[in-house]
Amino acid sequence: MFYQLHGSGFNQPRTDLPYGKIGIVFLPIAAKEGIHMEMPAPSASVLSRKDQIVSRLKAVLPDAAVISDVMETRAYECDGLTAYRCPPMCAVLPANTQEVAAVLKICHELDVPVVPRGSGTSLAGGALPTADSVILGVARMNDVIETNYADRYIRVQTGRTNLSVTGAVETDGFFYAPDPSSQLACAIAGNIAMNSGGAHCLKYGVTTNNLLGVTMVTMDGQIIEIGGAHLDAGGLDLLGVICGSEGQLGVVTEATLRILHKPEGARPVLMGYDSSEVAGQVVTDIIKAGVLPVAIEFMDRPCIEATENFAKAGYPMCEALLIVEVEGSDAEIDAQLALIMEIARKHNPVELREAKDADEAGRIWLGRKSAFGAMGQINDYMCLDGTIPVSSLPYVLKRISEMSKEFGLDVGNVFHAGDGNMHPLILFDANKPGDLELCEEFGAEILKLCVEVGGCLTGEHGVGIEKRDLMNVQFDPADLEAQMAVKDVFDPKWLLNAAKVFPLDCSAPRRAA
């Protein structure tokens, strides 16, 4: 066995790797203020009652847990989508479910908007405050409540970071499967709200497939328990609709998560091809052959070049590079890779390299892990997150490169090829007037293309404010109406994170009510 799992994927930052700067290296858009995003006008009534609201909150929380100083609230002015900023009216950091309930009761009574927040790594602006809102951060709630190996679950407070969930069980040989590349920083709270994925979800599924239960506080302050150590719902699958609801249905304070025993080992193989079409075909052929790798990652030439300059992983210069990783015992890995290599060879690779040892495996993943950082070295960039049917890969890549010429902005593609979740990186210059706007326009066109070929606007980052105004491209009014009806039931006053997900004109009648 070459190396211990789970340290393989680019989505697998490990504490023993020089990988600690993730949140810094990966800033998706150069910090810049003043970009316009339409948000509802803050409520003058709420703003005028700030002192009263703060004193009510201080009555139920320790003083230090209520942040209302204008300078201090700036710490919460944005999430990972740093182009958009707006300090909240105040921020609260409760320590447990009861305190969350007390806060929400007050906000509900006083009609104050609330924006839940985990670690603030959302790339969609999901945790962006409005000026009249209370940021409800769960970061202080990071305890492990229960670990149960016989029944294979862990129960945690949701402020706990994704990686430290695995951290709590890995010495016993277990892990929590969903592995967003932000896992060092992002919280289970945000993972649940965004239904986050990772490089290994081809095999293990995304958050919703690994979530067994939650404790949630609804906007009126009611504490509800959904699911638990058992599987599936006895009635309507409320857990299923809460996961991925972007903080709009309630504040999730505790979660029961499925844990699994680590596989015995894993090994990647690297393949280079002269065309993206051929690489796309290889992906399809592997999937059709009946092997199910844990990860199939794809990079195109611009990304390969950038990462080579940056990380010197020894990648071949070619049009398309694939990293395919399989798991199991040594012999099982050998057998699976033999089959995969045979398929790869049929398509005339310019390079085919199986990791011979842990060192080589590390180098194969190195470039992929550094891709975002490398692109960030050469330029500002915007990271998209659409999903397409795998079969449309060659067509979509061709269209993106044509559009890149039309817009005059370069694009690098790096993504989870096995499940069609693309992350085109559009390069732009944040200091050049109009470039970000051009970039956003280009991004919107790419996402529309994803929908056009049968895919969707976002595969794992969520809608937030970023894709809010594109929702009409994917959904008809009746589709959005049905989704908003769900929010009506959970949050009739539309106080929770209400300016997100739905185009403002769609949600306006409800927000005004």
Partner 1 sequence: MTPKTEQELAEVIAGSNGPLRIVGGGTRPIGQSDGDALGTSQMRGITLHEPGALTLVAKAGTPVAEIEAALAKENQRLAFEPMDHRALLGTTGEPTIGGVVAANVSGPRRIAVGACRDFMLGVRFVDGSGNVIKNGGRVMKNVTGYDLVKLMTGSYGTLGVLTEVSLKVLPGVAQETTLALDGLDDATAVAAMSAALSSPYEVTGVAHDPVAGKTLFRLEGFADSVAYRAAELTRLLAKFGQLVELDRPRQWQAVRDVVAFAGQPGDVWRLSVKPSDAAALVAKMDAKAVLYDWGGGLVWALTDGGDLRARLGDFQGHATLIRGTGDFPVFQPEHAPLAAISAGLRAKFDPRNILNRGLMQ
Residues 348-387 that bind ligand FAD (CB under 6 A): none
Q: Looking only at residues 397 through 456 of this chain, which bind ligand FAD when binding is defined by CB under 6 A?
A: none
Which has the closest alpha carbon to 385: 125, 79, 50? 125
The identity of residue 442, as a single letter, is: F
DSSP of 300-349, one letter per residue? Answer: EHHHHHHHHHHH------SSEEEEEEEESSHHHHHHHHHHHHHHHHHT--
* Nearest-angstrom CA–CA distance, 466 and 367: 28
* Nearest-angstrom CA–CA distance, 272 and 142: 43
Q: Which two tokens stand for residue 25?
A: 């290296």
Residue with tokens 């929010």: 487
How far does Cα 305 stand from its chain's mean position?
25
- Told to check if 509 binds partner 1 by CB under 8 A, we report no
- Told to check if 465 binds ligand FAD by CB under 6 A, we report no
The listed partner (partner 1, ligand FAD, none) that binds 233, CB under 5 to 8 Å by sort, is partner 1
DSSP of 94-118, one letter per residue? Answer: -SSHHHHHHHHHHHHHTT--EEEES
Q: What are phi and psi of 32, to 5 degrees?
A: -160, 140
Minimum separation from the CB atom of position 292 to partner 1 (A): 6
Q: Looking only at residues 65 through 124 of this chain, which bind ligand FAD when binding is defined by CB under 6 A?
A: 79-80, 115-123
The identity of residue 453, as a single letter, is: V
Q: Looking only at residues 230 through 289 of this chain, which bind ligand FAD when binding is defined by CB under 6 A?
A: 246-247, 251-252
DSSP of 166-217, one letter per residue? Answer: HHHHGGGTEE-----TTTTT-BHHHHHHHT---TTHHHH--GGGGEEEEEEE
Question: Of the two residues 32 and 152, which places its CB atom closer to partner 1 in the complex?
Answer: 152
The listed partner (ligand FAD, partner 1, none) that binds 138, CB under 5 to 8 Å by sort, is ligand FAD
- Told to check if 481 binds partner 1 by CB under 8 A, we report yes
The one among 2, 26, 174, 315 contacting ligand FAD by CB under 6 A:
26
Starting at the earlier edge strand, list the strands of the sheet with 114-117.
66-67, 90-92, 134-137, 114-117
Minimum separation from the CB atom of position 465 to ligand FAD (A): 10
Q: Which stretch binds ligand FAD (CB under 6 A): 59-67, 147-155, 191-199, 264-272?
A: 191-199
The one among 27, 241, 278, 403 contacting partner 1 by CB under 8 A:
241
The listed partner (partner 1, ligand FAD, none) that binds 454, CB under 5 to 8 Å by sort, is partner 1
Which has the closest alpha carbon to 381: 46, 49, 26, 61? 26
Q: Which stretch binds partner 1 (CB under 8 A): 91-99, 255-263, 349-357, 428-436?
A: 255-263
The listed partner (partner 1, ligand FAD, none) that binds 133, CB under 5 to 8 Å by sort, is none
- Told to check if 263 binds partner 1 by CB under 8 A, we report yes
296-315 residues labelled b (16+ CB within 10 A) or e (exposed): bbbbbebbbbbbbebbebeb
Q: Which stretch binds ligand FAD (CB under 6 A): 187-195, 266-274, 358-366, 392-400?
A: 187-195
Question: Of the two residues 126 and 227, which places its CB atom closer to ligand FAD in the complex?
Answer: 126
Enclosing H/E stretch for 224: strand 223-227
The listed partner (ligand FAD, partner 1, none) that binds 110, CB under 5 to 8 Å by sort, is none
The listed partner (partner 1, ligand FAD, none) that binds 116, CB under 5 to 8 Å by sort, is ligand FAD
Which has the closest alpha carbon to 191: 179, 174, 199, 203? 179
- Told to check if 226 binds partner 1 by CB under 8 A, we report yes
Minimum separation from the CB atom of position 294 to partner 1 (A): 12
Minimum separation from the CB atom of position 194 to partner 1 (A): 6
The one among 73, 82, 97, 182 contacting ligand FAD by CB under 6 A:
182
Q: Looking only at residues 466 through 485 of this chain, which bind ligand FAD when binding is defined by CB under 6 A?
A: none
Minimum separation from the CB atom of position 247 to partner 1 (A): 12
The one among 138, 156, 283, 323 contacting ligand FAD by CB under 6 A:
138
Binding mask 143-172 for ligand FAD (x = CB under 6 A): ---------------x--------------
The one among 198, 244, 293, 420 contacting ligand FAD by CB under 6 A:
198
Size of the site for partner 1 (CB under 8 A): 93
Tell me if 187 sits within 8 A of 118, measured CB to CB: yes
Tell me if 100 sits within 8 A of 253, measured CB to CB: yes
Q: Looking only at residues 282 through 341 of this chain, which bind ligand FAD when binding is defined by CB under 6 A?
A: none
Neighbours of 384 (CB within 10 A): 28
Minimum separation from the CB atom of position 336 to partner 1 (A): 8
Partner residues linked to 211 by β-bridges: 257
How far does Cα 118 stand from its chain's mean position?
12
* Nearest-angstrom CA–CA distance, 6 and 199: 11
Which residues sit at the interface with ligand FAD, rule CB under 6 A? 11, 22, 26, 79-80, 115-123, 126-127, 138, 158, 180-182, 186-187, 189-191, 193-194, 196-198, 246-247, 251-252, 460-462, 497
